[in-house]
Amino acid sequence: MTSMQSLAPHAVPVICGPTAAGKSAIALRLADVAPITIISADSRQLYRGFNIGTAKPTPAEQALVPHVALDVAEPEERWSAWRWAVLARHAIADARAQGRVPVVVGGTGFYVRALVSPLASIPPLDESRRAELAAWLETQPPERLRAWCERLDAPRAALGPVQWRRAIEVALLSGTPLSAWHERDAGHTAPLPVRYLVVDPGESLATRIASRVEQMAQDGWVDEVAGLANVVPRLAPAWQSTGYDVVREHVEGRRSLRDALAQVTIATRQYAKRQRTWYRHQLHDGPVTRLSPAAPDAWDHVLAWWRALTEDGA
């Protein structure tokens, strides 16, 4: 494994923020400034075939700039933040060896955290038992999940339902709480220096999300989901990507398209709200520049942030 020490001391640029904020557009435009490699920090874009509803970069966009961490997982696979961070560290080292600047781009906060402050490497869990447990946990109400998490792994109880389910799985199947695994590995790997660009258009984000959902529908999202429903098992982790379960209900005749798109828009706005909260409180390990892409001088601020990286020797 590539050690974090081998990646220091140059700061890694991280473009993050809520969904539909315009992060990818900024990263693609930076390709005109310097040779870059984009490392996707989006837990939904890992999965092959799940393209339109995850706003995955198009083949044309991927042809313009090298992208990493797209289409690396089968829909049935489960990826942890730790596993993604291992891939990302190797990608950072590879990009630098090629004379390119690695740029981490995405909104999955726990992925960013795993890269910057490495998480523990948890032993493989029995996949059949895990799948059975995961399916059952999906049926449990949030208040019950939180209560179990408080008993099995109290430090994780302050997080959200996805993290509660993960903590319960690890505690029950490994016999050791996830927080204990993190403590066990703490200090084994040096933190990764980063510079954050947090992209957030403010009040206009709600409108941007609604427009994106409508565009996804026009781009063929329903047909994509119909095709996936024929080959991807219903309980595959990839279906947890925001909106895919609702669009599948439309494909199955259980919901109108208008209602499905409305529900996707609501769910995406709720997800963006959680992302905003996370990025407001969790970025303590590097300089943070906050940017509204709608500002008239937005690109000037991006270039100033990029120059600061160059001064650091990124």
pLDDT digits (tens, 9 = 90+) for 211-258: 999 999 999 999 999 999 999 999 899 998 889 999 999 999 999 999
What is the reported pLDDT for 154?
87
SS3 286: coil
> Tell me, what's the pLDDT at 120?
55
Residues in Cβ contact with 314 at an 8 Å cutoff, skipping those fewer than 6 apart: 10, 11, 12, 13, 101, 195
Q: What is the pLDDT of residue 207?
A: 97
For residue 75, give both structure tokens.
């829909």
Query: Residue 122 above 70 pLDDT?
Result: no
Q: Rounded to whole angstroms, how far apart are CA atoms 114 and 41?
A: 10
Q: Which of 140, 163, 185 is the last residue of a domain?
A: 185
Least confident of 15-24, 185-194, 241-250: 185-194
Query: For the domain that residue 276 is a member of, what is the CATH number?
Result: 3.40.50.300
**Sheet with 288-291: strands ordered across:** 67-68, 36-40, 101-105, 12-16, 194-199, 288-291
| Predicted local confidence at residue 158, as pLDDT | 76
Shared-domain flag, residues 151 and 252: no
Domain holding 232, by residue range, is: 5-118+189-312
Q: How many domains does the chain have?
A: 2
Tell me, yes or no, whether 177 and 193 share the same domain: no
pLDDT digits (tens, 9 = 90+) for 263-306: 999 999 999 999 999 898 888 777 899 999 999 999 999 999 99
**Per-residue model confidence as pLDDT tens digits over 66-116:** 999 999 999 998 888 888 988 999 999 999 999 999 999 999 988 998 888
φ, ψ at 199 (rounded to 5°): -100, 125
Are residues 47 and 93 both part of a single domain?
A: yes
Which pLDDT score, from 0 to 100, does residue 6 have? 41
